[in-house]
Amino acid sequence: MKWSQAYIPTLRDDPAEAELISHKLLMRAGYIRKVTAGVYNYLPLMQRVLQKITNIVREEMDRSGALEITMPVLHPAEVWQASGRWDVIGREQMRLQDRHNRWLCLGATHEEIVTDLIKGELQSYRQLPKNLYQIQVKFRDEIRPRFGLMRGREFIMKDAYTFDRDEKSQEKSYQNMVDAYFRAFERCGFEIRKVEGDTGAMGGTGAHEFMVIVDTDGGESTIYYCDSCDYAATDEKAGFREHGETSDEEMLEREEVHTPGMKTIEEVTGYLKLPAKKLVKTLLYRADDEVVAALIRGDRNINEVKLVNYLGCNNLEMADEQTVMKLTGADVGFAGPYELKDVRLVVDHEVKGLRNFVTGANKTDYHFLNVNHPRDFKFHETVDLKMAEAGERCPRCENGKLKSDRGIEVGNTFKLGTKYSSSLGANFIDEDGNEKPFIMGSYGIGITRTAQAAVERFNDKDGIIWPKAIAPYGIIIIYTNSSDDKQIELAERLYMELRGKGIEVLLDDRDERAGVKFKDADLIGIPLKVVVGERGMKEGIVEVKIRNTGEAHKVNITEAVEGIIRIFEKVD
């Protein structure tokens, strides 16, 4: 491609709305343009990158034995109602009505459709296992679409679905996908980390997420991993070994203290001169139709995913102000378990061993000192509700400590069990003649997110640094003086010959200053730059520079094509 004929609208300045480096770079380098929140045009360079990632993913899916299909974007409400997810996914689903007022939605994921597809068609255990996949646009009305392609409302995903007859076979299918993921991401130029994930709204029996580790704000996910064994999990999932301490303090008299306007842990502990560990937070939630108070030590953060999983509810949100006032008789910020009626208490394990702690007094501007159970309140449900923290003990091995990293989730794998096959009545006849529901798995890769993750992971002050396998072009050729016919002639010749060897080349044939061309080449991130310049022409050489290492070589004009290819082959 010649730049003069291409469509690469680079920008001089960072777009104001972009926060992440990768978002800024994709905009500035002319890869993407926003249409509306979470919806983008993919320009020609982006299209090429997406195509490459897609091809790699497709090849690895095919290699693993998965079969490509295309399912519709438009789904009837009925299948989603049948699985029970129409109400669970709720507002994240893009919904519409047709001219007959029938409800439809745009596919956010395809468990329902694929299960409905195979139902009645895969009938015998002899036809199993099966793995069906597609690469397609998905729609999700994310609460906070942001960071460019990282969290879009319309994005491209590879989604695969497996059908097995039993757990053992499912385990193989699952591992097969995990292996394919490692191959695919490695080929894209990434190191990825596989971590245990929460199964969330998907339902099911186990999940992993595949993370690109970054140390920027692009790392929306926090992961915890052990410094001595291979335990690794998302923050939603991670646990740690609890200390199980039980205080042997003597129970003291409960005492009401005036804490005017002090609602936060910091305010209360600062005022009472007590460590946050001595406080117990009482967090009131509405869980579907019920109000739940979650009790957790003041220095801990609550993990709402754990609470949802424990309660098995569809919807969890903080109770609104009116509900809090009605139940506690106090302003928000002064709730406590003492004489708290009509509320289900769910208590974190750690609270069990505490003595003489501080809670809200269910009275505006007051807290209690020396609260104790079971004297002051009783509970029947204890559970782990804590967010993990770096420095805590590994839940799996003896001596390990948890460390944390930030990552971008580019893919995930779920063991679904029979949630969808059972609810949608998708069964097969097993060897013993019995009808059984399929054991299913579901496996996603965010194609567009992966593309941007590459930029977030690989860049420098000058621009993008694409891994060679997914770069829009492998080589860019620049001539520095556009009124020098000799330069143009040589550049054109190299361009033709390298293309003849199957290499994707961009020739910057614009009538621009050399400085502008160099800047743009770095900005758009082409792995190898070939410069045909004044001095080189005199010396009979072209200069070749590798984008990711900065390494520069001189190659004789007489054997330029071979020399360039030799260097190109070594680039990662």
Q: Which positions touch ligand ATP (CB under 6 A)?
A: 109, 140, 142, 151-152, 155, 157, 409-412, 444, 446, 448-449
Asked whether 366 and 259 are in contact (CB, 8 A), the reply is yes
Judged by CB, which is closer to ligand ATP: 26, or 505? Answer: 26
Judged by CB, which is closer to ligand ATP: 68, or 290? Answer: 68
C-alpha distances out from residue 418 to 27, 308, 479, 539, Å = 43, 20, 61, 71
Task: List Cβ neighbours of 92 (8 Å cut-off, separation of 6 or more).
Answer: 108, 140, 141, 142, 143
Residue 256 tokens read as 């009401």
Closest distance of CB 200 from ligand ATP, Å: 7
Judged by CB, which is closer to ligand ATP: 93, or 459? Answer: 93
In the block, which residue shows the tokens 């044939």?
509
Judged by CB, which is closer to ligand ATP: 211, or 490? Answer: 211
Judged by CB, which is closer to ligand ATP: 197, or 333? Answer: 197
Closest distance of CB 58 from ligand ATP, Å: 16
Pairing of strands 366-371, 290-297: unpaired
Closest distance of CB 87 from ligand ATP, Å: 18
CA-closest candidate to residue 354, choices 272, 276, 284: 276
- Alpha-carbon gap, residue 195 to 412, rounded angstroms: 9
3-state SS record for 238-294: CCCCCCCCCCCCCCCCCEEEECCCCCCHHHHHHHHCCCHHHEEEEEEEEECCEEEEE
Task: List Cβ neighbours of 51 (8 Å cut-off, separation of 6 or more).
Answer: none
Judged by CB, which is closer to ligand ATP: 53, or 307? Answer: 53
Closest distance of CB 157 from ligand ATP, Å: 5
Closest distance of CB 151 from ligand ATP, Å: 4
Judged by CB, which is closer to ligand ATP: 26, or 324? Answer: 26
Asked whether 340 and 328 are in contact (CB, 8 A), the reply is yes
CA-closest candidate to residue 366, choices 327, 337, 342, 336: 336
In the block, which residue shows the tokens 């070594």?
570
Closest distance of CB 492 from ligand ATP, Å: 40
Closest distance of CB 54 from ligand ATP, Å: 14
Peptide bond into 374 cis (omega under 30): yes
Closest distance of CB 238 from ligand ATP, Å: 15
Half-sphere exposure of 81 (CA within 13 A, CB side): 6
- Alpha-carbon gap, residue 156 to 104, rounded angstroms: 20
DSSP structural state of residue 387: P
Judged by CB, which is closer to ligand ATP: 438, or 443? Answer: 443
Closest distance of CB 383 from ligand ATP, Å: 23
- Alpha-carbon gap, residue 507 to 478, rounded angstroms: 6
Judged by CB, which is closer to ligand ATP: 109, or 303? Answer: 109
Judged by CB, which is closer to ligand ATP: 115, or 412? Answer: 412
Judged by CB, which is closer to ligand ATP: 80, or 334? Answer: 80
Closest distance of CB 70 from ligand ATP, Å: 17
Closest distance of CB 212 from ligand ATP, Å: 10
- Alpha-carbon gap, residue 286 to 319, rounded angstroms: 5
Dihedral sign from CA coordinates of 7, 8, 13, 18: positive
Residue 259 tokens read as 């804490």
Half-sphere exposure of 272 (CA within 13 A, CB side): 29
Q: Which single residue brings its beta carbon nearest to ligand ATP? A: 446
